[in-house]
């Protein structure tokens, strides 16, 4: 009897992975102990200098960056995530640090306007959030390019014209040592021998050292530029993390190098 074909990765797969107890513990520990990376702080202070501006953070997880923003003096914060277990951790940490004023909302990045609680607090004068963030490669943990574009369009709809959107991705063309492995992966896709759970070339699904599973799409830079153009965003800046700051060993152990992006809402 032939082996059953594994199911494709779906948003429900990713949500279940983020709600896994091992993953929740991993991200909660980072929220309590790690805080903002040096590169994140540099980019936030450069592109979102107004501490009084209303900001939207998508994919807030257990609150690592959210509480980092609060500690920098940002007070009009709305943070959303689609993993309820992680949100519970974020709310708990916010209460512990005197940041209960942060709004934490359960919502999916691909359906932000379907969340009435979120829509009801979008600033009205001037309309829209003054900036948005989707850090730690969260955008690329949405399976399927059309879904990622839909998320970009949803974020665009909730921001005011000119608002900066700060996010990060991997870049599969950045590291020359990785190119042979991507050449091999392209050959697997060409002959239909790729992991059948994956949706597109550039996808990876792997078990982390903390015991959870992670879906991640690793795009080329040109792919991200095309997605921004297709969803009403104008690229303003991009650079690899290593060009922005020298991170601590703890940050480097927690996360690989990534590309920082800033785009503005047209």
What is the structure's pLDDT at 1? 47
DSSP assigned state of 111:
G
- The alpha-helical segments, DSSP class H, found in the chain are 11-18, 21-33, 38-47, 64-71, 84-96, 116-119, 145-158, 179-190, 221-230, 241-244, 249-254
What is the structure's pLDDT at 4? 58
What is the structure's pLDDT at 232? 98
DSSP bridge partners of 80: 58, 105
CA distances from 213 to 17, 20, 21, 90, 187 (A): 6, 9, 11, 21, 25
d(CA 29, CA 250): 12
d(CA 171, CA 174): 5
Does position 2 have pLDDT exceeding 60, yes or no? no
Model's pTM, two decimal places? 0.96
Averaged over 196-222, what is the pLDDT?
Answer: 94
Higher pLDDT, 175 or 243: 243
Sheet of 259-265: strand order equals 103-106, 77-81, 55-58, 131-134, 164-169, 259-265, 233-240
DSSP bridge partners of 65: none
**Contact assessment for residue 101 and residue 91, using Cβ atoms and an 8 Å cutoff:** no
d(CA 18, CA 82): 9
Does position 223 have pLDDT exceeding 70, yes or no? yes
What residues contact 158, with CB distance under 8 A and at least 6 apart? 56, 112, 113, 118, 122, 128, 129, 132
CATH of 11-265, one of 3.40.50.10490, 3.40.190.10, 3.40.50.150, 3.40.50.1580: 3.40.50.150
CA distances from 139 to 47, 84, 123, 209 (A): 19, 18, 23, 22
Tracing tokens 């540099």 back to the chain, one arrives at 42
Two structure tokens written together for 174: 């950045």
What is the structure's pLDDT at 236? 98
Tracing tokens 């979102």 back to the chain, one arrives at 48
Averaged over 98-110, what is the pLDDT?
Answer: 98
State the Cα torsion 226-230-235-238 to the nearest 10°. Answer: -40
If pLDDT is split at 50, 70 and 90, which confidence band does 5 have?
low
If pLDDT is split at 50, 70 and 90, which confidence band does 22 have?
very high
- Alpha-carbon torsion (85, 86, 91, 97), positive or negative: positive
What is the structure's pLDDT at 246? 98
> pLDDT digits over 55-72, tens only?
999 999 999 999 999 999
d(CA 216, CA 120): 31
What is the structure's pLDDT at 54? 98
Averaged over 126-137, what is the pLDDT?
Answer: 98
What is the structure's pLDDT at 208? 84
d(CA 47, CA 79): 18
Residue 243: CB atoms within 10 Å? 10
pLDDT above 70 covers a percentage of the chain that reads 98
Does position 194 have pLDDT exceeding 60, yes or no? yes
- Mean pLDDT score of the chain, rounded to an integer? 96
């Amino acid at each position: 009897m032939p082996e059953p074909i594994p199911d494709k990765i779906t948003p429900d797969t990713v949500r279940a992975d983020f709600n896994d107890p091992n993953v929740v513990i991993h991200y909660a520990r980072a929220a309590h102990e790690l805080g903002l990376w040096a590169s994140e702080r540099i980019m936030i202070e450069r592109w979102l200098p107004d501490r009084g501006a209303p900001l939207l953070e998508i994919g807030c997880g257990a609150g690592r960056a959210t509480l980092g923003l609060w500690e920098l003096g940002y007070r009009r914060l709305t943070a959303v995530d689609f993993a309820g277990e992680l949100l519970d951790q974020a709310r708990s940490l916010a209460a512990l640090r005197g940041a209960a004023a942060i709004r934490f909302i359960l919502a999916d990045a691909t359906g932000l306007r379907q969340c009435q609680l979120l829509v009801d607090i979008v600033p009205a004068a001037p309309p829209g959030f003054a900036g948005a963030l989707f850090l730690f490669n969260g955008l690329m943990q949405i399976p399927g390019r059309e879904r990622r574009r839909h998320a970009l369009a949803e974020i665009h709809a909730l921001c005011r014209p000119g608002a900066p959107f700060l996010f990060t991705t991997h870049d599969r063309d950045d590291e020359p040592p990785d190119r042979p492995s991507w050449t091999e992966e392209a050959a697997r896709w060409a002959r239909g021998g790729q992991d059948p759970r994956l949706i597109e070339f550039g996808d990876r699904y792997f078990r982390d050292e903390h015991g959870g599973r992670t879906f991640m799409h690793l795009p080329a830079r040109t792919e991200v530029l095309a997605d921004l153009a297709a969803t009403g965003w104008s690229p303003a800046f991009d650079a690899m993390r290593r060009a922005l700051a020298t991170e601590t060993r703890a940050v480097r152990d927690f996360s690989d190098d990534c590309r920082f992006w800033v785009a503005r809402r047209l």
